[in-house]
Amino acid sequence: MESTQILAIRHGETAWNREGRLQGHLDLPLNAMGMRQAERLGAALAEHAIDAVYASDLARAAVTARHVAAPHGLEVRHDTRLRERAFGVHEGKLWAEVEAAFPEDALRWRRRDPDFEPSGGESLTALYARCIAVVSELAAAHAGQTIAIVAHGGVLDCLYRAATRIDLQAPRSWVLGNASINRLLHSPQGFSLVGWNDDHHLHGLALDDPGVPGFMPTAPQTAKA
């Protein structure tokens, strides 16, 4: 079976990205910066061969995906399995608010306990299984082609770990920039990494989530496609 090229893209910025609030399954629109990022992303990929565009159904990913799909005359195919991790009772909160009101949850979160499941939310183990299953399925359906997948930071984190064979509990040390382009290959052997966090098209527009454990890198990531 031929390999599938995957352009894995995080949605553009939202107001809550800038504030550092946990979004999860809450449906936030792109802010003005996010719209500019999405426009530049679409222009950067306008000449890139893309056979299909998939996205989370949440507005911040869906709108970003439309900018990728439009130059190619493609319709965005939405899949709820590409949503961000469900954070349950913590959705809408700042990290400081989680630490103050739910110290035990905050401790397990910082330790990246793979089985920690916020009340009404989802564990890292469940998120990883969901994300890898859906992207593997979509990639297998487009063997020998190139697909764009527009999703969320948690989804991209899972893909990076799958491609680099990094354990779920390992601290994150790679950037997950809004509207950056990340390149992977999928084959019957699984995922492999081609390039990560290509943000040349943004020219300083990107701003990642400040102060939220698991969202910001702990070491610089310089490799780009």
Q: Who contacts 2 (Cβ-Cβ below 8 Å, separation ≥6)?
A: 143, 144, 187
Active site residue 11: yes
CA dist., res. 62 & res. 150, Å (int): 7
Active site residue 201: no
Task: Find the catalytic residue in 67, 72, 84, 201.
Answer: 84
Q: What are phi and psi of 57, to 5 degrees?
A: -80, -5
The answer to whether the beta carbons of residues 33 and 13 sit under 8 Å apart is: yes
Q: How far apart are the first and last CA of the chain?
A: 24
**Nearest C-alpha neighbor of 55 from the set 136, 150, 180:** 150
Scored b (16 or more CB within 10 A) or e, 77-96 reads: ebbebbbbbbbbebbebbbe
Catalytically annotated residues: 11, 84
